[in-house]
Structure 1
C-alpha cells in the first residue's frame, strides 16, 4: 500500500467498531501478508511508520478531549 493510499483510506469512515487493522484483515483474508514482505522501500516504510505514529497521537488527543468533556458533563 502506498503512503498516499494509506492516508486516504485511514481518514475514511470504517464499519462500526472496525479498526484499520480489522479492515486490512478483512481485505487480505486468505492472503498471506508474507507475500508483501519487502514490497515497500525503506523510505516509504519509514514515512508510513511516521504517519501511523502521528495519527495515533492525534486520536489519543481526541480521545482525551472526549473523556474530559464527558467527565465535565457529570460534574
Structure 2
C-alpha cells in the first residue's frame, strides 16, 4: 500500500487524535470523517434553489442594506 507524509499543525494533530477510536489508524480516521462528510452533503443534493436565484436575492438584500445606510 502506498503512503504519503502529511504535515499538520500540532493543534490539528491533537483534534485528529481525539477523533481516533481504539484500534483505528490515522488513515482510518480520515477515511471515516471524509465519508461521513460526503454523506452529510448528499442529504442536501437538489434541495437548494438555483445559484442564480440565490445570487439575485443576496444582491437585493445588499441593496436594501446599502439604501438604509445612506438614509442614516
Query: Which TM class, normalised by the smaller chain length?
Result: 0.3 to 0.5
Q: TM-score if structure 2 supplies the norm length?
A: 0.33
Q: TM-score if structure 1 supplies the norm length?
A: 0.32
**Larger radius of gyration, structure 1 or 2?**
2
Task: Compare relative contact order (CA 8 Å, sep 6+) and give the higher one, 1 or 2.
Answer: 1
